[in-house]
A and B are shown apart, each in its own frame.
Chain A
Amino acid sequence: MIAYIVRRLLMLPIVIAGVSIPVFSLMMLMSPFSRLALYVRDPDTLKQGPEELAEMVEALGLNDPVWEQYARWMNQILHGNFGWSESARQPVLKAIARLLPASVELTLYAAFPVVFIGIWLGKKSAVHQDMPVDHVTRLTAIVGWSFPTFVFGILMLMIFYGINRWCPPGRLSLWASRIVYSDGFTSYTGMHTIDAVLNGDFRVLGDALRHLVLPVITLAYVSWALILRLMRSSMLEALRQDYITTARSKGLSERVVVNKHAQRNALLPVTTVAGLMVANLLNGVVVTETVFNFRGLGAFAATAAVQLDLPSILGFSLFNGVLLVLTNLIVDILCATFDPRVRLN
């Protein structure tokens, strides 16, 4: 097992190279001057006259052959220099590190309802196939699947903030953020709910949760349809297998048959897709954070894209690539743990 994990992790540099080549080729479509920002650590150097900038282009070799530039760019990235983010007004890596906890918090809270409600409803739907429960669940799922995240988010905001001020947008109320950014409050993880518990400040916890409810629901509602549909079809297939008939004829209770014999086998394909779902959630995070003005990585990427801030976008997509590779690794390991037939070799 450990040997397998190490081997997969050794693949990581190859994958990073694979992700960076298309990203870099896209970048090469821009003029040398637009690409200058990638190599700059300090914004003031960009505010010089055209001659100085042309000199910098020459000095940095932005007119060199593509492969030479790629080697140099990769070298910079490996040394942790992702360039300067104009939209966040700080180095890209720093901005990502600062905003990451917010997005992780949002994604984690959304992933739990998505996975557990999705699996539970999918199971219910399959067990009661063609009964009212099944029809209602499938209809809600397909309607949810048809909702663009931003439409659903705006509607939620209109109802729960515009009409009755329950759940405001943003991450914290003004008074709560004053507490969080004061000296008396230690920031352990950067995730406000966890930090609030660790600091024993339950008013801040309540405020953070109030701000999280709508984005989490939005992110979850649009995504759980995928898990539900998969779980339903996989469960239906499992319930038609011979070993289910055997289990029933042995006189096992229906609950044991469904929960132990069918569900376990039906979960396998669902686990694999959970990895894909992370990609789905990442897309959703960009939109959800923008709609709810929730200052995390997704909102950062969206602003960067609108402001044509290339270094930030590149940093964000590289970061995503690495994240997805790691998720896929975890999914493969989980699959092997659930299914003794899968060997990690």
Chain B
Amino acid sequence: MWILKKLATRPLSIAGFILLFCFIVIAVIAPWIAPPEFAHQPYRIPRDGYWAEPKPPSSEHILGTAEGQYDIFYGVVWGTRTAFRVGLIVTLSGCLIGMIVGSIAAYYGGLIDEILMRIVDIFYTLPYLVAAMVLAVVLGRSLQSSMIALVCFTWMGYARVIRSEILRIREIDYTHAARALGASNMRILVRHIIPNALYPVFVMVSMNIGSMVIAVSTLSFLGLGAQLGYADWGQMISLARNWMLGSAGDAAAYWFTVVCPGIPIVLFVLAWNLVGDALRDVLDPRMRGSR
């Protein structure tokens, strides 16, 4: 309860939660505000003809159409669902793998710890975007393969944090007390250590969801993520690349092709970053009391 109370006193964190709430609402009511043309493929953006040049906002297409006459409004609305799915699935799977590896390393220690942590180091030396590019090349172009690629290169951070948290908590008095009472190793790990090690992981998850959404949309923008016509913000911006300099007389003629999918990405990531920042300040014991 005190967490909620503390969060409520910070204007920036309130702004973050409100933004996030708006996105959740949009994602939930997507089928009603933008009814899909193909009921079994709701993520396929309906197109109005095959003309290349984007059309400005009109009563028929409230946010205009992108290159190839994809409806921008539809893409933005359903892109919200894509963003939630991508952000949550990638971050949570990465977190789960990291927690398992980190717990094993800390629990067994010695040689196993050493080997696992060197593997973590090796994964750290590959910049994740480049590594994800390699994987996307191998697995072929699709949203799934870019998600798999990102999961493979985001678990290391969690593994390190969980490992060091467990090593720290293992030496705290209440763990010794539990051991003195005769609790088994497994029980100590599951009942006492992991719940207490979770706070920093919680903060990391909320901070990482935003960057994962950026990473996936970047892969889509480079042409390695979602397929053409898929409701994904990054993919929609890549459609704007040929039009960003406008037409002969009017340099800003096609602003909507960048701005309309661009604003939701920035706000979505901003929302998670604000929430993550707030959680960190509230949950991190070193920051408690500082504000």
Contact = CB atoms under 8 A, between A and B. Distances in A.
Contact of A154 (B124, B224, B258, B291): B258
Contact of B269 (A146, A162, A306): A146
Q: Which of A149, A283, A310 has the most CB of B within 10 A?
A: A283
Interface in A146-196: 146-151, 154-155, 157-158, 161-163
B221 interface: yes
Nearest to B221: A150
A287 B134 contact: no
B252 A148 contact: no
Given A148-B265, A305-B136, A142 B234 contact: no
Contacts of A150: 218, 221, 234, 237
A158 B245 CA distance: 6
B126 A321 contact: yes
Contacts of A282: 127, 129-130
A248 B16 CA distance: 38
Interface stretch (A21-29, A99-107, A197-205, A263-271): A21-29
B126 A287 contact: no
B225 to A, nearest CB: 11
Nearest to A147: B266
B18 interface: no
Given A148-B269, A151-B262, A157-B244, A142 B274 contact: yes
Interface string B112-147: 000000100111111111110111111100000000
B56 to A, nearest CB: 15
A317 B129 CA distance: 10
A244 interface: no
Contacts of A149: 218
A185 B136 CA distance: 41
Nearest to A25: B138
Contact of B234 (A146, A148, A286): A148
A146 B270 CA distance: 5
Nearest to B118: A18
A197 B251 CA distance: 34
A281 to B, nearest CB: 9
B273 A305 contact: no
A321 to B, nearest CB: 5
Q: Which of B124, B127, B136, B139 has the most CB of A within 10 A?
A: B127
A270 B223 CA distance: 34
A286 B258 contact: no
A38 B107 CA distance: 42
B30 to A, nearest CB: 22
Contacts, number: 142
B273 A154 contact: no
Contact of B130 (A21, A163, A283, A325): A283
A320 B130 contact: yes
B130 A139 contact: no
A71 interface: no
Given A147-B266, A305-B137, A316 B122 contact: no
Interface residues of A, number: 52
B134 A23 contact: yes
Interface string B160-197: 00000000000000000000000000000000000000
Interface in B235-291: 237, 240-241, 244-246, 251-252, 255, 258, 262, 265-267, 269-270, 273-274, 277, 286-287, 290-291
B131 A317 contact: yes
A25 to B, nearest CB: 10
**Which label, helix, strand, loop or mixed, suits the secondary structure of the B interface?**
helix
Contact of B221 (A237, A287, A305): A287
A213 interface: no
A19 B79 CA distance: 35
Nearest to A164: B251
B210 interface: yes
Contacts of B269: 145-148
A157 B255 CA distance: 12
Nearest to A161: B245
A26 B252 contact: no
Nearest to B16: A142
B217 interface: yes
Q: Which of A21, A163, A314 has the most CB of B within 10 A?
A: A163
Contacts of B241: 154
B133 A148 contact: no
Given A130-B291, A158-B244, A162-B251, A19 B125 contact: yes
Given A18-B122, A154-B240, A163-B251, A142 B265 contact: no
B127 A305 contact: no
Interface string A77-120: 00000000000000000000000000000000000000000000
A308 interface: yes
B252 A286 contact: no
Interface in A291-340: 301-302, 305-306, 308, 310, 313-314, 316-317, 320-321, 324-325
27 contacts: A18-B122, A18-B125, A19-B126, A21-B122, A22-B123, A23-B134, A29-B138, A146-B269, A148-B214, A148-B221, A148-B265, A148-B266, A151-B237, A154-B262, A155-B258, A158-B251, A158-B258, A283-B127, A283-B130, A286-B129, A287-B218, A287-B222, A305-B133, A306-B224, A313-B137, A316-B130, A324-B127
Interface of B: 12, 118, 121-131, 133-139, 210, 214, 217-218, 221-224, 234, 237, 240-241, 244-246, 251-252, 255, 258, 262, 265-267, 269-270, 273-274, 277, 286-287, 290-291
Given A287-B129, A321-B126, 11 more contacts: A18-B125, A19-B122, A130-B291, A150-B218, A154-B240, A154-B241, A154-B258, A158-B246, A282-B130, A290-B222, A325-B125
